[in-house]
A and B are shown apart, each in its own frame.
Chain A
């Protein structure tokens, strides 16, 4: 029985993908795990991998085609199988005899078409589908996967419903591609399946090997109190779906600059790394700012660990790789991790797990000469910190006017989660840390 290869959702937000290049050609022997093609998603160039073995019977789309997720791109079957043809789709289920006759009249390739679970199930709803002339050699048949043909265990269906996952975008590893529990779990951990509706991610990001001692989910869901619900409802009426307010602080960076000058040259530690580490430590002290808004569940998810997203400009736009457990990493580890993530983000080589599941974001436009700015919150996170440029400025210091290196930072807060004073206290802690960087080794 031939199995159809579909365009998989290779990122959480992917709805279509451009098939950049076929890595396997018709007639090639395929082993599970073989890279069939390269696919450009909305975020990166990824590999489309074979979920079944056999022989590649043919491509359904040429390289360069943009294909919606869950639609067919190729067939894999046994050696000697013909490509399942579109002719089969014209068969009406309640006229089996006529179907037989139709197949006989059609091209020989079609009458030799292997039985396919996908196509066979498709027949039910495809009574009026136009018959297409079939040529297996052409390899450009407009066959698409039918959602009705989806095989999933009852448990997998239940889990997908609970988690709001789109089963059509998950590859099954059970018999005949049945989606089973482990496939759902893999999709949850990898964040590789688009979600339907509720954004209730239950994904605990993979933890680094060291210093991780906590069990449990890594967060605490705090039920919304009545006053929080009222605050949320009123503020949303006032200003957009995410009622954002902004807090700006002016930070003296002289001591950070002194400290940085004393650090060894390798790995290179940037001002941004020091800011990231300080943000992570400050968030650990102010968990109310390290949280997700989950209004549809009536909760705020307060994360125990800090998973810091760092906005990186790439040619096509913007991506936010995540430094996991940033609060537990040393400054040196943060510097190494951020350099690696940024480099791979620019090369578009990040896996989805590396740019999802963050609890707070930092955006830095200082290197582009921006004094200060406001950043837009990345929901369901409740806050994002905008970093301006570090610049010498005349300020009153110790009673005299001095020239000192200063930095302006602006915190955008989702008011449904973070109230003004709460955000201000977080910012206050952060400013103190930056002005007394010894706090980093506390």
Chain B
């Protein structure tokens, strides 16, 4: 297995799928000549030409709508947003057109389209460019929401997303692009809708996704030194949510903490907690706790930004609470 970056894993997925299916094309700001703001599309213009790797003006609503139109006639667009913060401008096309076209046409109009780009915060990008919008999109029937945390999952899930007949919101992470990991050689597809147990454990379940996965794994490592054996579940797909995997784990550990980068109110964790309490109430030994970003617009100040984010200490504190360890 090759060890490559998350960025290169996405690049491989795009290249392989563009070879696999000539109806796949990439469109977005700076994806072609500049090879992507984060270099995810490196080499693709040379390889596939300007008809399939298309630079756009700074017009998110416009090129998202172009993509939806292309999907309606049977193409398989991959629409790159420089960040999901910019995609707020395009949300009408995503929610009102892409998510509903198959449904409203009784399945006559195809809508195989991927919207992708980095979500959440990086470092000191300010309140307007540090937001996690997965709960917005996951709220919408008709959309799938995928958030890989590792290079292998990034590659496997992007390939699955491109092949999927439904519109997929594919949220990456700026701080993840440089992370390295093993990616299986050859054709590697990760099914949408399957969570992954990143670490097995018996005392408590930590549920996380995207950038909180490495944080949760680090927390689990420290907890292990303290004799708490944590199971870490990476959701990978937010919608459809892999409820059976969540339930099986929590039914075993009896205690659960849900971590996410986004805000607390109406976050992904709220949905996870609902699924747990509804199905396995009698298996809970403690209320499920959530660890989330602070309920504020992201501060620009470096220290305040750090204090606003999910970190290892916050996850450990929540685990200690649900394990009744004070």
Contacts and interface: CB of A to CB of B under 8 A. Distances in A.
Same assembly: yes
Interface of A: 153-158, 173-175, 180-182
Contacts of A154: 281-285
Contact of A180 (B281, B282, B283, B324): B324
Minimum-distance CB pairs A-B, first 10? A155-B285, A158-B282, A181-B285, A153-B285, A154-B282, A154-B284, A154-B281, A155-B254, A180-B285, A174-B324
A173 B325 CA distance: 11
6 contacts: A154-B281, A154-B283, A157-B282, A173-B324, A174-B324, A180-B286
Contacts of A153: 284-286
Query: Which of B282, B285, B286 has the most chain A CB within a 10 Å cutoff?
Result: B285
B143 to A, nearest CB: 33
Nearest to A153: B285
Nearest to A184: B285
Interface residues of B, number: 8
Contacts of A180: 285-286, 324
Contacts of B282: 154-155, 157-158
Given A153-B284, A174-B286, 16 more contacts: A153-B285, A153-B286, A154-B283, A154-B284, A154-B285, A155-B282, A155-B283, A155-B284, A158-B282, A158-B283, A173-B324, A175-B324, A180-B286, A180-B324, A181-B254, A181-B285
Chain B interface, >50% SS class: loop
A156 B283 CA distance: 8
Nearest to A155: B285
Contacts of A156: 285
Pick the most buried of A155, A174, A175: most chain B CB atoms within 10 A of its CB.
A155
A174 B254 CA distance: 14
Interface of B: 254, 281-286, 324
A160 to B, nearest CB: 11
A158 B282 CA distance: 6
A182 B283 contact: no
B316 to A, nearest CB: 18
Nearest to A156: B285
A138 B48 CA distance: 91
Nearest to A161: B282
A175 B285 CA distance: 12
A174 B283 CA distance: 16
A56 B284 CA distance: 33
A386 B324 CA distance: 49
A187 to B, nearest CB: 15
A188 to B, nearest CB: 15
A205 to B, nearest CB: 24
B225 to A, nearest CB: 21
Contacts of A173: 324
A167 to B, nearest CB: 14
B324 A182 contact: yes
Nearest to A158: B282
B279 to A, nearest CB: 12
Identify the interface centre among B281, B284, B324: most chain A CB within 10 Å of its CB.
Answer: B324
Contacts of B283: 154-155, 158
Contacts of B324: 173-175, 180, 182
A349 B286 CA distance: 36
A94 to B, nearest CB: 29
A45 B179 CA distance: 64
A158 B281 CA distance: 10
A373 B281 CA distance: 54
A154 B285 CA distance: 6
Nearest to B284: A154
A163 to B, nearest CB: 14
B235 to A, nearest CB: 24
B228 to A, nearest CB: 13
A175 B326 CA distance: 10
A333 to B, nearest CB: 32
Nearest to A181: B285
Contacts of B281: 154
A240 B322 CA distance: 50
Contacts of A182: 324
Contacts of A155: 254, 282-285
B251 to A, nearest CB: 10
A150 to B, nearest CB: 16
Contacts of B286: 153, 174, 180
A158 B283 CA distance: 8
B43 to A, nearest CB: 54
